[in-house]
Amino acid sequence: MADPKKNAAPQDDTPKTTPAGEPEGQGTGAENDAENDYAAEDAAAEEERRRRREELFGDILDDEDAPADTIESLRAERDELQQKFIQVSGRIGTLQQDSMTARNKLEEAQKALTRAEAKFEQDKKFAVEKFVKEVLPVIDTLELGLSAIPQKDRDSDPKFAKLAEGVEKTINQLTQVFNKFGIKSINPMGEEFDPSKHEALAVQPKDGVDPETVIQVAQKGYEIEGRLIRPAKVIITPQF
């Protein structure tokens, strides 16, 4: 029977050596470099967190006399600020509502003022119109009296001339007052008949005159700022 020891492979009794510069029991150089990088990153992150803490709470962390319940104090202050913010927000809402109410009242006041001004202007026009209607008969009488004094009598008799001059002066003064208040006379001699401003008393043919043309003004009309006070009474030519 063969001896097993004789057939066994020879064993290498040479002691194993570790590469120079590499401690026994540790990994390779690449593994050590990765671990060192991770450690450096962790240190940098921790340094960044420490820097941020110092920026935010440096005065608290450095103050040896700071009370132990600093966080609670900060929370209480935060709650107080939140409560003040709620109160201020409520006041702002109230002010906005008051401002809207005041603006609505201002608009109502402006509308009321506009209505009052319009009514005042309308009343003023009616008052002037009433005055004009009272004065018109006087002007009519003066104009009739003036037309009753022939030009030949004015030239031959100084008394008639002086009388006519006085009547003309009075009519001119009244006309100036009328113009001041926007009152205008309507004297449509030779114009086309306008039923909105003229009142036809009669129709009379006349050669060489267009149909419905005013050939005589029996009484002048008047208007105030476009509002008819009295139509002019006229005689016109026939329609055809």
Q: How confident is residue 18, by pLDDT bands cut at 50, 70 and 90?
A: very low
pLDDT reported for residue 170: 92
As a whole-number percent, the residues of the chain with pLDDT over 70 amount to 79
CA dist., res. 181 & res. 131, Å (int): 11
pLDDT reported for residue 167: 92
In DSSP notation, the chain reads ---HHHHSPPP--SPP-PPTT--TT---HHHHHHHHHHHHHHHHHHHHHHHHHHHHHHHHHH-TT--TTHHHHHHHHHHHHHHHHHHHHHHHHHHHHHHHHHHHHHHHHHHHHHHHHHHHHHHHHHHHHHHHHHHHHHHHHHHHHHHTS-HHHHHH-HHHHHHHHHHHHHHHHHHHHHHHTTEEEE--TTSBP-TTTEEEEEE---TT--TTBEEEEEE-EEEETTEEEEPEEEEE----
pLDDT reported for residue 6: 45
Return the bridge partners of 230, or none.
222
pLDDT reported for residue 237: 95
Q: Evaluate if residue 42 carries a pLDDT over 50.
A: yes
What mean pLDDT do residues 76-99 have?
Answer: 82
Q: How confident is residue 4, by pLDDT bands cut at 50, 70 and 90?
A: very low
**What pTM, to 2 d.p., does this model score?**
0.50
CA 146, 151, 152, 154 dihedral sign is positive
CA 48 from chain center: how many Å? 55
pLDDT reported for residue 5: 45
Q: How confident is residue 53, by pLDDT bands cut at 50, 70 and 90?
A: low
Task: Please give the domain boundaries of the chain with CATH numbers for all domains.
Answer: 76-181 (3.90.20), 184-240 (2.30.22.10)
What mean pLDDT do residues 43-50 have?
Answer: 81
What mean pLDDT do residues 161-168 have?
Answer: 92
Q: How confident is residue 231, by pLDDT bands cut at 50, 70 and 90?
A: very high
What mean pLDDT do residues 10-36 have?
Answer: 54
CA dist., res. 104 & res. 111, Å (int): 11
